[in-house]
Chains A and B, each alone.
Chain A
Amino acid sequence: MAETAEGVIGKDVARIDGARKVTGAASYGSDFALPDQTYAFLVTSTIARGRIRHIDETAARRVPGVIGIYTHRDIAGKVKAGKLMADGGYLGTSIQPLTSPDILHDGQIVAVVIGESFESAREGAYRLDVAYERQPASASFDDASVETVAASEASKTHEDPKVGDAETAFQQAALRIDVSYSTPTQHHNPIELFTTLCHWSDGKLTVWESSQNVWGYKYGLAEQLGIDPNDIRVLSPFIGGAFGSRGSLTPRTAIIAEIARQLGRPVKLVPTRDQGFTIATYRAETRHHVKLGATPDGKLVSLSHEAWEVTSRPDNYMVSGTKATTRLYQCPNIYSKVSITHADRNTPGFMRSPPELPYLFALESAMDELAVATGIDPIELRRINDTQVEPIKGLPYTSRSLMACFDAGAKAFGWHERNPKPGAMRDGDWLVGWGCASTMYPTAVAPAAAKVRLMPDGKAIVQTAAHDIGTGAYTVIGQVAAERLGLPLANIEVQIGDSDLPPAPVAGGSNTTASVCNVVAKACDRLRQQLFQQSNAASATDISGMPLDAVLNDLPKDGIEAYAENLPHGTTQEGIGKLYHGHSMLAGGSELKDRIQFAFGAEFVELRIHRLTKEIRCSRLIGAFACGRIVNPRTARSQLMGGLIWGLSSALHEETEIDQASARYYNDDLAEYLIPVNADVREVEVIFVPEEDKAINDLGIKGLGELGNVGTNAAVANAVYHATGFRIRDLPIRLEDLLAVES
C-alpha cells in the first residue's frame, strides 16, 4: 500500500473543524432547539441512602409554566435498568432512578419537573417537596458498614497477575520499600454540562446528547425503553469534553426520552454543574500497598502491588491497574491483588486513564523511593529494570521505547544538572524540586466500519459513527482519507457522531485514531480499486498512486461508494456482529495471547515551593512520548499537553470531598472543585520520540489521548520530595501537607 505523494498522514495541519469552533457555529447537545420544546429540571436526593416517603407536588404545580412532574410513580415499569458496560450492557450504573422509591446514593434523580421555560421548570423543582426516610450511609473505605471483596471473587474474568514468589524474595531482598499510597475521588467535569434533548416523531426517537458511544447509546436506550434500536438515532456532532464521562449511557437519557414520549413534546434537559457530580460517573478513590525488593545495585527482585477501589453497593465496577503496574519493569517475583469496597455511592466509571493513573502513581512513587534508598538516579534505576518482554507471561512488547523517552526528556529538561539531595536546589525563597516518572498506556484497537463516497467533482465524504471529543478525530480521519484517495484535505468531508452512520467503537481507551483511521484507509483503498476496475484504466497493477482526475469524469452523478470493516489483531469476526449491536471489542494492552501492546513516555516536572508559605507552583512540565505513528503532530501535541496538565491538576488540585457522616459531596462546583487556570500552568513541552511499530496495526498507530496524564502524578510527588525531603503519598498534594517543612 504505497502512499500518494501528498503525505497528508503525519502532516502538521490545523483542525478542520476549527473555524466552526472559533465562531460559535459548532453546535453541542443543548445548542440544538426544536419547535415546541419543553425544558426539564432535575430534583436530586438530599440523602445518600433510604427511600422516598412522600412527594408533595402542590406548590410545584402552582408555578406558572410548569406542565409536568415525573417521579417513580410515572416512570417505574416504563424504563428498565440497564447493565454495566463491563457486564455486557451499555450503562455506567445498574442503579436506575425513578424505577422505585429507593435511594442508593447522594444526588440520585428523584423527580423531573417539566416547564415551558427553563426558569419555570427550575422554579417548580425548587418547590417540589420530597420527604425521605433516611438510613445511615457509608461514604468510603473507613466506614464500618462497607463491604470489601476480592476482585477475583466479584468477577469471573478478573485476573490478579502473579509470577514467582514475591513474598520470599521480598524478605530476602537487600533493599526493601514497603509503603502505602492513596488517590481521591475525582470528577471529569467536562465544561459542557450533561445535557440531553429528546424528540419523538412517528414512533422514532432522536436524541441530541454529547456521547462517546453513539451506537452503544442507541442499543442501550432500545433495551431500556423496550423499542427497536432501528427506531433510535443519537446525534453528537460536537462534544464539549468527555474524558470518559460520556462513554457509557447514564440513566438520565432514558428518563428524558420516556418523559418526551409521555408528554408528546420534545424535552431538553440542562442539569446544573452540581447535579453533574451525581448523575454521571466519577473516578473512585483508591488505596495501594506497594512492596519493592531490590539488590543494592537497583535490580528489582520482588514487586507486590495490592490495591483497593471504591464502588457502589450493587455494581462490581473496577479498574484493576495492576495489569499495567506488574508489566512495567523486569522482575522475577511479582504479586498483585485488587479488592473492591462497596459503599453507598453512585457507581464510579471511566475517567481519563482509569486504571493507569492511580496505580502508576503508586508504583512510580515507590520507584522514586527505591531510587533514594539505593542512591541510584531515578532514570538509571528505570534503565536497570527496563525490559522488552513483559514479566508475567513472557510476551514481547510490539514496541517499547521507554528509555529513549527518558533520554530525550532528560536532555530537554537538563536533568544532568540535578542535585539529588532534597532541598539542595533553590531559587531565592523558592525550593526547587525536579521529579520524573514513567508513563504507559495500553494500545487497544477495536473493529470498526466506514463508508467513503467519491463525487465527480473530486470531493469525498467519509462516514463513520466515530466521535471527536476534542481529540481531533475529524481532522485525522480527513487526513487519512485525503492521503489514501489522493485528494487535497479540503476536498474531504468527514461525517461522524451520528448513530445512523456505519458503526465505530466507543471513544474510550484511546482507540479512536487507530481503530477508525485503519478502517477509513481500507474503505478508501477499496474505493480506488472499484474505481479503477470500473474504468478503462483497470489494467494497471498498482493503482494506489494513480491520479483520480482521469476517472472522475466517468463517475455517475451521485458518485461511487465503498464500505469497509476492519478486524484488528486479536479480534474475531464476532467483533463485527458486536459492533453492530453497540459493543466495542477492544483488543490489545495486556489482553492478547501472543504479544503486549503499550505506548510509553517519560514525564518531567519542575516545582517551586515557597520556603515560608509552602505555596506550590509548577514552572515546567516536559513529556517525551513514543506512540507509534503520529497522524497529526498538532492535534497529538494538544492531547499530550492536555494530558500533562491533567496530571498536574490531579496531583496538586483535584479532589471531590465527601462528608463521611452523610456520604454526600460538598465541593460540587467549579469554585471549590479545583482545576488549574492559565495562571497555574507555565511552560509545557511535548517531545515526540520517533517510533515505528509495523506490527501493531496497518497504519502503525498507538493511542495517546490518555498517555499524558498518567505519570505526571508521581513525577509531581517525586518533585515535592526532591524540593522538601517530604514524601507525600496521598493525592492531591496541597500546601497544608507541607506546613511542617523546615526551611
Chain B
Amino acid sequence: MSGIHVTTKINGDEVQFVCEADESLLDVLRNRLGLTGAKEGCGTGDCGACSVTVDGRLTCSCLVLGAEVDGHDIGTIEGMAMGDELHPLQKKFIEHAALQCGICTPGFLVAAKALLDHNPEPTETEIRFGLAGNLCRCTGYDKIVRAVQAAAEEMNSAKKIQQKVA
C-alpha cells in the first residue's frame, strides 16, 4: 500500500500526514492525528457528530476522504477556544445546559460557529434549521437554540462596542 502525502492546515497550523486512499478525514483526524473531538455517530452523514469546517464550510468529516483535503483549511472543535478562553458559543452551551452526554456537542458547536460566521444574526427558525443536520439524542434541543441565540447576541454586542471604540 502506498500512502498519500497530504499537506493541510488544521486550526491555523500547517499539518502534514500520510494516509491511505480509503481513509475518511474523520478517521485521519481521530486515528492518525489524535484529534478526537470530532466524533463518529454514523459514518454516513446523518448525525453531524463529525462536523468540521473545510475552508470555512461546514462538512461531515466522515463523508470526505483524508486525501481530499490536501491544500485546504480544516477547522475542528480543538481550535475553537483561544487557549483557556472559551469561545462565547462554548460558554453559552455550558451556561444553558445545552449539552448532556456531550458526544454531539463538538459537532453542534462547529456547526453553530459555521452558522454564525455566515449569518451573525440568525432568527430562531434559521438556527433550528441551520442545526437540523446535527442529532442530539439526549436531547438538548431548545436549550441548544437558546445557547446559540445568547452567544450570537453577546458576539454582536461585543462587535458593536469594538466598532464604537474604533
Contact = CB atoms under 8 A, between A and B. Distances in A.
Interface in B108-158: 109, 125, 127-129, 131-145
Contacts of A19: 86, 90, 94
A273 B41 contact: yes
Interface of B: 1, 20, 22-23, 27, 30-31, 34-44, 46-47, 49, 76-78, 80-81, 86, 90, 93-95, 97, 99-106, 109, 125, 127-129, 131-145
A243 B137 contact: yes
B140 A22 contact: no
Contact of A14 (B1, B31, B95, B141): B95
20 contacts: A14-B95, A19-B86, A21-B99, A21-B102, A24-B37, A118-B31, A190-B137, A191-B49, A191-B136, A238-B101, A240-B102, A470-B100, A470-B101, A641-B140, A641-B142, A642-B139, A645-B141, A670-B44, A677-B128, A678-B141
Nearest to B49: A191
B103 A678 contact: no
A676 interface: yes
Contact of A119 (B20, B34, B81): B20
Interface in A183-200: 188-193
The 3 nearest A-B residue pairs measured at CB: A24-B37, A470-B101, A240-B103
A683 B145 CA distance: 10
Contacts of A21: 99, 102, 105
**Interface centre among B23, B81, B138, B140, by most A CB within 10 Å?**
B138
A115 to B, nearest CB: 11
Interface stretch (A26-34, A221-229, A581-589): A26-34
A451 B150 CA distance: 40
A671 B23 CA distance: 22
B100 A638 contact: yes
A interface, by DSSP: helix, strand, loop or mixed?
Answer: loop
Given A470-B138, A670-B44, A119 B36 contact: no
Contacts of A683: 142
Given A645-B139, A669-B44, A637 B101 contact: no
Interface in A643-671: 645-646, 649, 669-671
B93 to A, nearest CB: 5
Interface in A74-91: none
B102 A670 contact: no
B32 to A, nearest CB: 9
Contacts of B47: 191, 670
A33 B31 CA distance: 8
Contacts of B35: 24
B150 to A, nearest CB: 13
Given A19-B90, A24-B37, A191-B104, 6 more contacts: A30-B40, A118-B31, A189-B137, A241-B138, A273-B43, A681-B142
Contact of B22 (A33, A123, A193): A123
B20 A117 contact: yes
B81 A679 contact: no
A407 to B, nearest CB: 24
Nearest to A677: B132
B22 A23 contact: no
